[in-house]
Structure 1
Amino acid sequence: MEWILLNIGVLVLLVFGSAFFSSSETALTAASKARMLTLANQGFKRAIVVNRLRGRMEQVIGTILLGNACVNSFIAILSAQVFAVYLGDAGAVYAGIVATIIIFVLGEVLPKTFAINHADRSALTLAPLVLALVRLTSPITHVTQIICSGLLRLFGVKVISEPGSEERLEELRGAIALHAGADEEIREAGQMLHSILDLEDVPVSDIMVHRRNMTLIDADQPIEQLVAEVLQSPHTRLPLYRGEADNIIGVLHAKALLRAVQANQWKLEGLDIVSLAASPWFIPDQTNLLAQLEAFRSRREHFALVVDEYGALMGIVTLEDILEEIVGDISDEHDVTVAGVSPQPDGSLEMDGTVTLRDLNREYAWRLPDEEASTIAGLVLHEAQQIPSPGQRFAFHGFRFEILERQRNQLTRIKVTPPLDAMPAKPAKSQEKREGRQNA
């Protein structure tokens, strides 16, 4: 009788052992990486242990599987011995059924369910004991890893110990999407985080103010007319050119002009405007936004002129333009607002061809591809493989496009009808505000 009670007591301990290994695996896998990192940075020792274990998960999993296999095997053996005393040879069958139920319910489902619902707390509680077991079984698990890695390589499977930067970025994007909800504040925060991750993939040519929308000042005109143009402009920084528009000789700051006029006793005669201008800063049109943001910070400048591979002026980009890619439109009392998108009663939108796809996708949560084109007109040209005439209609990517206006070879006005599930629920912001803005 004492022998039976001893076996039952050992069985109970083994079931607890099975529950421990099962819950440890789930807790360490499901625990929040961000919270563990925060606690570790605050000096919480158990969080440091959790992070250490997660850095060697192959060895941890090996230890847990080894322990679970041993415990479950002993549960089956002892159960068979206990049942054999009362049921004889048939006891092995009943022992197998009972052991399976006990292991499944008490050793797997119950502890895993608890651990996944209290992952952080469970991981912090169990981590020290798991670390001790990992150290104890390290010779066995190390040999096991060598054998498994060899077999995988034999079948052409590449073993990766650490994910690459691309995988980490995708994981970060997934984490942002996972926490995006219906709450407007959370949705906007998620959009900003996605925009930050996209900075490296977007060239300045996608967000620059095109040269046709730039305000340029002729440095050779009379001083009175030049000052009048500066005062009439809503922009703070204005490029100066001489002879032709591509010959930019400097960038005039309105405040520098005001100081010079004051120093000249509010007289315009004798002012050398060119000497007041800062040297122009030219950047390639394929510079990505992240690199340009870093360049703005290192040079402590807010304004750059964009040129193509032949050195021809294409437009300008400012620090504010890049910040708007992250936080959305930044309006001030001097912004020139040009209505780029006009919602229609039937749910369609009439827009200028220069409206960017990134603005539309961000404003209306659309997914129009922007790999081959940066504007809505460019997308239509790319998909249609021709220069359409007014009145022509196209359908692609689930949207319908109607050409409303065309000037020479440029599509200037387009009507876009989105799918029913992508109809805009609010008026569009001015998507061309960026094109009318040059001040930093």
Structure 2
Amino acid sequence: MLQEILAFLAEYWLTLVSVLLLIAASAFFSGSETALTAVSRARMHTLESNGDLQAGLVNRLIERRDRLIGALLIGNNLVNILASSLTTSLFLGLFGQTGVAAATVLMTVLLVVFSEVLPKSWAISTPDRFAIAVAPAVRVFVGLAGPLSSGVNAIVRFILSLFGVNLSRGISMLTAHEELRGALDLLHKEGSFIKADRDRLGGLLDLEELEVSDVMKHRTVMRAINADDPPDVVVRAVLESPFTRMPLWRNSTENIIGVVHAKDLLRALAEPDMEPRDLDIVKIAQKPWFVPDTTSLKDQLNAFLRRKMHFAVVVDEYGEVQGIVTLEDILEEIVGDIADEHDLEIQGVRQEADGSIVVDGAVPIRDLNRALDWNLPDEEATTIAGLVIHESKLIPEERQSFTFHGKRFTVMKREKNRITRLRIRPAEDIPLKA
């Protein structure tokens, strides 16, 4: 028996070695296809910037992904068919017609295990490292098979065009911002990103989508100074305020004539022979800067930085004052709430013992989502009270309840037409009536 095996190997050794080499080549093509498809372009760009030549080679290969994949598929199918043909020819000589079935079963097992599952599993586990390792050899093969791949791709495009599919006009369904946001959410779910980091980067991406009206302090809660008040009243108002800058109005809060900076006020009071009663608040006030309420936060942030200012008065399309916005308001959309020793401790959100959340109506939806990791929509309303009014299509009465977006909202307090306090609990926590 041993002599027969040795004789078989001596006669067919070249064929056996060829089949093994072809299976190895098939594994190379399969692994390379998977790695170069899954490779991180950002990671390769960083490595190339740091002087990694093979990372640059990977970048050049994946710039023409259709040509790359076409060449690898051609090579993979070529070696698979050749390996199967050689094995079938060998088994036909040994076993006759039954050798076809035996060769089919054997090659299926070998190709699936060693040419598909094994190399692709290896490549997908470390795609960046695998891609860098195979890039030089793949480049040579793509250079040889590239023209054939381009021809195949041309045929494929023509056939698909007959069915109304035009690959040349194919565009991503997601914007760059949406792809980044999806990546952040995925990394957070996988544990690679903590919630705070995800929120900060997500807030940075949101700047272009949000408008000044989404983060401004509304005129109903805006602290301002009356230019016609006695000087000592003005000084006391500025010193008691937690804010460094305050708008100055005359005759009506709609008529903003300046912005008073606490430091300018202190400088004026420090002048020789200056008495508080002689202070002219209008003279030390800075010229107000008016911005439209539809300005995007990204544009407003750039405008703050360009003009080296921190404070602006927000007006609507009719020029009526809607509120104020500061540089800190925009920065808080990125880094979260910024508190200092002079901030008032007004949270507006309170956790109850029964698990419900009591919320002031003026609390912004985005702040609530960020604090509690909720997903309440903020496209149609800015505050939580605005969301309830928008969804209910009316101004609710006290103790009236609504269920939407997986939450149960109960109006606890209403002043005139304003909802000032709400209780929110998950909708599934509501007991069913018998």
TM score, norm. by length of structure 2? 0.92
Q: Which runs of 5+ in 1 are unaligned?
A: 423-440
Correspondence for 1:361: 369
Moved more, 371-380 or 267-276: 267-276
Number of equivalenced pairs: 422
Is 1:78 matched up with 2:83? no
Is 1:152 matched up with 2:160? yes
1:181-233 Cα offsets, whole Å, 9 max, x none, are: 48697221011111111111111111111111111112223223222222222
Correspondence for 2:343: 335
- For 1:250 and 1:210, locate their aligned partners in 2 and report how far apart those are by CA, in whole Å: 18
Select which of 307, 310, 316 maps to 2:324. Answer: 316
User: 1:29 Cα shift?
Assistant: 1.9
What is the CA RMSD across the aligned residues, in angstroms? 2.1
Q: How is 1:181-220 mapped onto 2 (pairs within 5 angstroms)?
A: 181=189, 186-220=194-228
Q: Is the 1:27–1:115 contact (alpha carbons within 8 Å) kept by the matching residues of 2?
A: yes
Change (3 A) 1:185 1:168: closer
Correspondence for 1:397: 405
Q: How is 1:238-317 mapped onto 2 (pairs within 5 angstroms)?
A: 238-268=246-276, 270-317=278-325
Instruction: Give me the identity figure in percent.
Output: 47
Change (3 A) 1:118 1:339: closer
Change (3 A) 1:380 1:160: farther
Q: Is the 1:241–1:250 contact (alpha carbons within 8 Å) kept by the matching residues of 2?
A: yes
- For 1:38 and 1:282, locate their aligned partners in 2 and report how far apart those are by CA, in whole Å: 42
Change (3 A) 1:183 1:23: closer
The residue identity in structure 2 corresponding to 1:313 is V
Change (3 A) 1:144 1:171: same
The residue identity in structure 2 corresponding to 1:414 is L
Correspondence for 2:358: 350
User: 1:338 Cα shift?
Assistant: 2.1
Is 1:19 matched up with 2:27? yes
Correspondence for 2:176: 168
Is 1:102 matched up with 2:115? no
Q: Is the 1:24–1:123 contact (alpha carbons within 8 Å) kept by the matching residues of 2?
A: yes
- For 2:192 and 2:143, locate their aligned partners in 1 and report how far apart those are by CA, in whole Å: 48
The residue identity in structure 1 corresponding to 2:105 is I
Secondary structure of the structure 1 residue equivalent to 2:164: coil
User: 1:326 Cα shift?
Assistant: 1.2
- For 1:303 and 1:111, locate their aligned partners in 2 and report how far apart those are by CA, in whole Å: 59
Moved more, 411-420 or 242-251: 411-420
Select which of 405, 412, 416 maps to 1:408. Answer: 416
Query: Which structure exhibits the higher relative contact order, with contacts defined as CA atoms closer than 8 Å and separated by 6 or more residues?
Result: 1
TM score, norm. by length of structure 1? 0.91
